[in-house]
Amino acid sequence: MRVTKIETFKFWVDWCNWLLVRVSTDEGLVGWGEGSLHGATGAVETNIHELGAMLIGQDPAGPEQHWQRLYHAWRWRRGATAMTALAALDIALWDLEGKRLGVPVHRLLGGAQRDRLKVYASHWLSGVRKPELALEGAKEAIRRGYHGFKFIPVTYEGLRDDEAGEIRRATELMAAAREGAGPDAEIYIECSEFLSPRTAIMLDEAFRPYRPAWFEEPIPYENAAAMVALQHQIRTPVATGERLLTRFEFRELLERGGCRIVQPDLMHAGGITEVRKIASLADTYYVPVAPHNPTGPICCAAAMHLAAAIPNFLVLEQMEDQRASRDRASTPPIRLEGGHFLLPEGPGLGIEPDIEALMANPYRPQPGRQRRGSLWR
């Protein structure tokens, strides 16, 4: 078997673009990958074709060997666009390997330790700024069968213009969400790097009675030492890693106890091959993995296979607002039952994208998130 063609497809879905890649072979088998970087989609697409040229004419067997060859082919390796392109190709090669051997990807990773994967509703309570709406929204998440949800209780503008008032309002939202969710559901706090170490400590104190499951990206990710210092000062677990691209970038955080949950994104951190190693590194420090997963159907399926096979899986993100779009775009749809994903059992990833269904959503440039000034004080 030899790789004969690499094609890319990009579509606008809800609030971002999905970038899919198809790796075709001379025996008719194809593997699907995904590299949906939120922004710079064109740059990722270019990187996919530049890297993918090295696969043309090659036997696709052995994703690990190809990962090593492609990663080290560029002297200036890493960077979000390069690693996302590598991830998309890596996922496609794992899909091909499973189809070639007639087994699911999780079998190639050592076998499933679980066939039901706990998920939480992500981007929940979007735009909610009133406690009564937070109360009802939390109840709705539980009614849908989720055991937890993630929301953003603070805004950049609120912290900038009225710090004390914004923290008070966020606490009121959190109190209402906890009342609606009940005592046992998990409430994951997305901070979107809006906080400083000082305001993160303030929010930790304010939220303590309501048992937040984690603070996700409480401060900008670039300074690992600052994240380490913050985790040592607050009780709430820090969850981080969605923008870290290799196991080397996770090393300092893990060695120094800078977080209690890691969140590598298979779409950006080199695909299944590299995130598997990140999970193994985290397991050395008894740190669980909650993969970042704001994706289309292909990367979601890849994250499910990896999550099933690693010992330190915690919970998987589910973009509830995109669920209908994702289900229409995949054959078969990813199954969700009782707050759990059900592991696909077909060969490879176990799903195929419906390109014709996605054609109704043509690519469009993604607007950037703008900020003025700084809150890092």
Mind listing the domains of the chain with CATH numbers?
A: 3-102 (3.30.390.10), 107-349 (3.20.20.120)
Peptide bond into 332 cis (omega under 30): yes
Which two tokens mark 232? 């040592």
Output the pLDDT for position 371: 53
Among candidate residues 41, 45, 69, 40, the one with its CA nearest the CA of residue 55: 69
Give me the mean pLDDT over the 103-111 stretch: 97
**3 state SS of 111:** coil
* pLDDT value for 376: 47
- Considering just the CA atoms, what is the radius of gyration of the chain in Å? 20
Q: Mean pLDDT over all residues of the chain? A: 94
- Helices 63-73, 271-284: axis angle to 10 degrees equals 100
**22/295: higher pLDDT:** 22
User: Does 188 score more than 60 pLDDT?
Assistant: yes
Average pLDDT over residues 100-109: 98
Tell me if 99 sits within 8 A of 107, measured CB to CB.
no
Q: Which pLDDT belongs to residue 370?
A: 55
Query: Stretch 72-79: mean pLDDT, rounded?
Result: 78
Rounded Cα gap, residues 262 and 270, in angstroms: 15
DSSP three-state, residue 209: helix
The predicted model gives 99-113 an average pLDDT of 97
Q: What is the pLDDT of residue 362?
A: 87
Mean pLDDT of the 221-247 span: 97
| Average pLDDT over every residue of 118-122 | 96
Spell 99-125 as b/e; 16+ CB within 10 A means b. Answer: bbeebbbbbbbeebeeeebbbbbbbbb
pLDDT at 233 over 80: yes
pLDDT band at 372 (very low <50, low <70, confident <90, very high): very low
Q: Nearest Cα to 171, choosing from 207, 133, 134?
A: 207
319-367 tens-digit pLDDT: 888 888 888 889 999 999 999 999 998 999 999 999 988 888 888 887 7
- With a pLDDT cut of 90, the percent of the chain lying above it is 85
pTM, to two decimals: 0.95
- Interval 192-205 mean pLDDT: 96
Given a cut of 90, is residue 91 above it in pLDDT?
Answer: yes
∠ CA 145-147-195, nearest 5°, is 130
Least confident of 77-81, 175-179, 241-245: 77-81
CA–CA separation, 305 and 150 (whole Å) = 22
| Residue 322: per-residue pLDDT | 83
- For residue 184, what are its two tokens? 């046992």
| Rounded CA separation 84/81 (Å) | 5
Least confident of 136-150, 184-198, 313-327: 313-327
Q: Which residues pair with 21 in a beta bridge?
A: 8, 33
